[in-house]
């Protein structure tokens, strides 16, 4: 009766089957990473999508995952080396024009890549790749001059340049409309940075003098900031209304007056270096402005839908892996003479989490399908981001409990992701 009240209909019947239970059997039958009802996905599951994911998975298994523990311990991964490998295979420009070295595919292929990047056994490297491929370059791709694209976009897609996005400052960063600052957009936690801090407190300025801008100020939480070759900079280039006084510009990181003060030591995302950067009378040519002066706010807001969907896709695979590894561990770990998995409360919780995961996946792929068709999916992208943020906390916290003492060590993946959220 209690089971029927909590899980109506077919789900209750499936969960009521004899142990090891319908969930464990379904996941075991599908192998590692299998999903309940593992049917083809509505957005992005064509043979070409699958081929793309398979090729990326080979790179992850050979060039990235064997070294993740070392990079996590060191607090930095070799971005130029990893990005060059990914760039040569085309994964840094999946939806970028072929004219500039991209694949010229639609956004659903970006999501396929993002989902596969979730198989990297840490969060910092997928986040840095997201900044490189989907946060520092969209405005440049859409609105930048041909000259700027040749100088910055082509080598970024090829993996020769590491890009960063400079937005946050100490106590400032997320309210793009009210920014009083000058430099732009970078973040340590991917798409969430703009939603975390207060841009109206930003003090960095870019003042036009002749055919140059002179930049002064400081940036905080800059992903890949210690290794970046250039920064996408959002600058207040006038004293006008907050929606019309900002400009995006490409800022080479080797210019005089740019000081990388320190690499920030973090609780999580350790393999992604995060820097604090100061600007002192940094001069950049006016031709480095992306698109029209004063349109920086508009350009930045246009890419938020893609950033949110990218982040959700990566998180999905990470959560899926954690649930699967927890099922496998609880099947092997015995308490009071039987596997932990054979306790109904454990089984029910894992079933709930797997169900929530699939519902989020459906929302993601619905949003992606609509977006590829040209629709505004701000609502769905925001919903998916909200749900993903909450579900990652639920999955990591709940699964960690089932690992017992092992969950308190740094040897298992669930404890690493528990620190992230």
Q: DSSP of 204-219, one letter per residue?
A: -EEEEETTEEEEEEEE
Annotated catalytic residue within 293, 306, 307, 320: 307
Please state the rounded mean pLDDT for residues 211-229.
93
Q: Output the CA torsion sign for 283, 287, 289, 290.
A: negative
Q: How confident is the model at residue 199 (pLDDT cuts 50, 70, 90)?
A: very low
Determine the 3-state secondary structure of 414 from DSSP.
helix
Position 3 pLDDT exceeds 70: no
User: What is this structure's pTM?
Assistant: 0.84
Position 122 pLDDT exceeds 50: yes
Position 119 pLDDT exceeds 80: yes
- Least reliable range by pLDDT among 78-87, 240-249, 251-260, 322-331: 240-249
Check: CB of residue 303 under 8 Å from CB of residue 241.
no
Q: What is the structure's pLDDT at 191?
A: 37
* 307 annotated active-site: yes
Place of tokens 């089932």: 402
Position 125 pLDDT exceeds 50: yes
Please state the rounded mean pLDDT for residues 360-384.
96
Share of the chain above pLDDT 90, in %: 69
- Rounded to the nearest integer, the mean pLDDT of the chain is 85
For 415, counting Cβ atoms within 10 Å of its Cβ (0-12 exposed, 13-18 middle, 19+ buried), the class is: middle
Position 181 pLDDT exceeds 70: no
106 φ, ψ (degrees, to nearest 5): -85, 175
Domains within the chain, CATH numbers bracketed:
47-163 (1.10.540.10), 164-184+200-294 (2.40.110.10), 299-419 (1.20.140.10)
Q: What is the structure's pLDDT at 43?
A: 60
Q: What is the structure's pLDDT at 132?
A: 97
Please state the rounded mean pLDDT for residues 279-294.
95
Check: CB of residue 138 under 8 Å from CB of residue 301.
no
Alpha helices (H) in 31-66, listed in sequence order: 47-59
Please state the rounded mean pLDDT for residues 77-89.
98
Q: What is the structure's pLDDT at 172?
A: 59
Q: How confident is the model at residue 145 (pLDDT cuts 50, 70, 90)?
A: very high
Position 201 pLDDT exceeds 80: no
CA-CA distance, 395 to 75, in Å (whole number)?
Answer: 25
């Amino acid at each position: 009766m209690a089971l029927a009240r909590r899980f109506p209909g077919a789900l209750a019947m499936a969960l009521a089957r004899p142990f090891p239970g319908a969930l464990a059997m379904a996941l075991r039958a599908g192998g590692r990473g299998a999903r309940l009802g593992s049917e083809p996905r509505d957005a992005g599951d064509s043979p070409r999508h699958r081929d793309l994911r398979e090729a990326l998975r080979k790179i992850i298994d050979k060039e990235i995952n064997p070294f993740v523990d070392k990079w996590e311990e060191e607090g930095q991964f070799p971005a130029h080396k990893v990005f060059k490998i990914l760039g040569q295979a085309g994964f840094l420009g999946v939806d970028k024009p072929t004219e500039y070295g991209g694949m010229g595919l639609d956004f659903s292929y970006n999501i396929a890549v993002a989902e596969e990047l979730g198989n990297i056994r840490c969060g910092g490297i997928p986040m840095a790749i997201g900044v490189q491929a989907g946060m520092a370059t969209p405005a440049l791709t859409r609105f930048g001059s041909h000259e700027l694209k040749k100088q910055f976009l082509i080598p970024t897609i090829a993996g020769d340049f590491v890009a960063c996005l400079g937005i946050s400052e100490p106590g400032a960063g997320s309210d793009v409309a009210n920014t009083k600052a000058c430099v732009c957009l970078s973040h340590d936690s991917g798409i969430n940075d703009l939603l975390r801090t207060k841009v109206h407190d930003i003090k960095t300025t870019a003042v036009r003098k002749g055919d140059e801008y002179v930049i002064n100020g400081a940036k905080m939480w800059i992903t890949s900031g210690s290794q970046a070759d250039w920064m996408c900079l959002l600058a207040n280039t006038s004293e006008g209304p907050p929606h019309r006084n900002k400009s995006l510009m490409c800022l080479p990181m080797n210019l005089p007056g740019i000081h990388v003060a320190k690499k920030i030591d973090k609780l999580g995302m350790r393999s992604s270096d995060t820097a604090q950067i100061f600007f002192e009378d940094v001069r950049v040519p006016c031709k480095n402005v992306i698109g029209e002066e004063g349109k920086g706010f508009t350009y930045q807001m246009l890419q938020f839908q893609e950033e949110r969907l990218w982040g959700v896709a990566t998180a999905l695979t990470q959560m899926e892996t954690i649930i699967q590894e927890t099922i496998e561990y609880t099947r092997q770990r015995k308490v009071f003479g039987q596997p932990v998995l054979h306790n109904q409360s454990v089984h029910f919780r894992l079933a709930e989490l797997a169900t929530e995961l699939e519902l989020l996946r459906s929302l993601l792929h619905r949003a992606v399908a609509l977006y590829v068709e040209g629709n505004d999916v701000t609502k769905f992208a925001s919903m998916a981001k909200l749900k993903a943020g909450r579900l990652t906390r639920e999955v990591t916290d709940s699964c960690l409990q089932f690992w017992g003492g092992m969950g308190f060590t740094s040897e298992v993946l669930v404890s690493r992701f528990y620190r992230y959220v």
